Amino acid sequence: LVEVETPRGPMMVVSCMTPVAEGQIVRTATDNVKKAQEGVLELLLANHPLDCPVCDKGGECPLQDQAFSHGPGESRFVEEKRHYEKPIAISDIVYLDRERCILCDRCTRFADEVAGDPLISFTSRGNDTQVMTFPEEPFSSYFSGNTVQICPVGALTAKPYRFKARPWDLNETETTCRCRYRPSQLGLVV
């Protein structure tokens, strides 16, 4: 969340979903922004399982980073967290853990706007909202691996990698893709 100065006065907006406008003034560190960010973080963690040590995103999770940097230390919520069947195989290689999903909309926006395959979307409304694929239709997008990569919290995982290694155990190496149309440099994680 950031504070944006508009003709109607300052407004709190989600920075990653707000288009840039001419003359826009954005404030990222005011007291109001910090209080709002802490409140949103606490709400995100209200139902998110605290299983970072066994999560595939553990160590490279933006939510984990935010919780350690800005979190309250203890939750005020005493209610039981919601539970779902897990994991759900939504394709041959992609698993969905709905308990970890924070409904950030990255996967659905990517599938719709970038991949052009709106095969994954939100279902239900309010507190019952969750990410799902269409019934009896697998998430068979050519870009399903990319969708797994942009999931910030480990709700979408790839079967070949699931619980196989930790981020700090992997090495990155540079290579060249020898595509016949356009060779390019790639970074591989092995």
Query: Both 11 and 72 in a single domain?
Result: yes
Same-domain status, 57 and 33: yes
Indicate if 37 and 87 belong to the same structural domain: no
Task: Select from 53, 78, 103 the last residue of a domain.
Answer: 78
CA distance 152 to 109: 14
Q: What CATH number corresponds to the domain at position 60?
A: 3.10.20.740
pLDDT at residue 51, rounded to an integer = 85
Is 95 in the same domain as 144? yes
Last residue within a domain, chosen from 48, 78, 108: 78
Residues 106 and 53 in one domain: no
DSSP 15-80: GGGS---TT-EEESSSHHHHHHHHHHHHHHHHHS---GGGSTTTTS-HHHHHHHHH--SS----SP
Query: What CATH number does the domain containing 144 carry?
Result: 3.30.70.20
Do 51 and 107 fall within a single domain? no
pLDDT of the residue at 45? 87
Domain count, the chain: 2
d(CA 25, CA 42): 27
Q: Are residues 60 and 105 in the same domain?
A: no
Question: Does residue 50 share a domain with residue 25?
Answer: yes
Residues 86 and 71 in one domain: no
* Residue 169 is assigned to a structural domain of this protein: no
- Could you tell me if residue 36 is inside a domain? yes
- Per-residue pLDDT tens, the chain, 190 aa: give them: 889 987 778 889 888 778 888 888 899 989 999 999 888 888 888 888 888 888 889 888 999 988 888 777 777 888 888 889 989 999 889 999 999 999 999 999 999 999 998 889 999 998 889 999 988 888 888 888 889 999 999 999 999 888 888 777 888 888 887 776 777 777 777 6
Residue 185, domain member (yes or no): no
DSSP secondary structure code for residue 180 in this structure: S
Residue 141 φ/ψ region, left for φ over 0, alpha for ψ in the -120 to 50 degree band, beta for the rest:
beta
Show Cβ contacts of residue 16 under 8 Å, excluding neighbours closer than 6 positions.
none
Whether the CB-CB separation of 148 and 115 falls below 8 Å is answered with no
**Is there a single domain that holds both residue 16 and residue 74?**
yes
Is the same domain home to 87 and 159?
yes
Backbone angles phi and psi of 118, in degrees to 5: -75, 60
The answer to whether residues 91 and 138 touch, using CB atoms and an 8 Å cutoff, is yes
Residue span of the structural domain in which 18 resides: 1-78
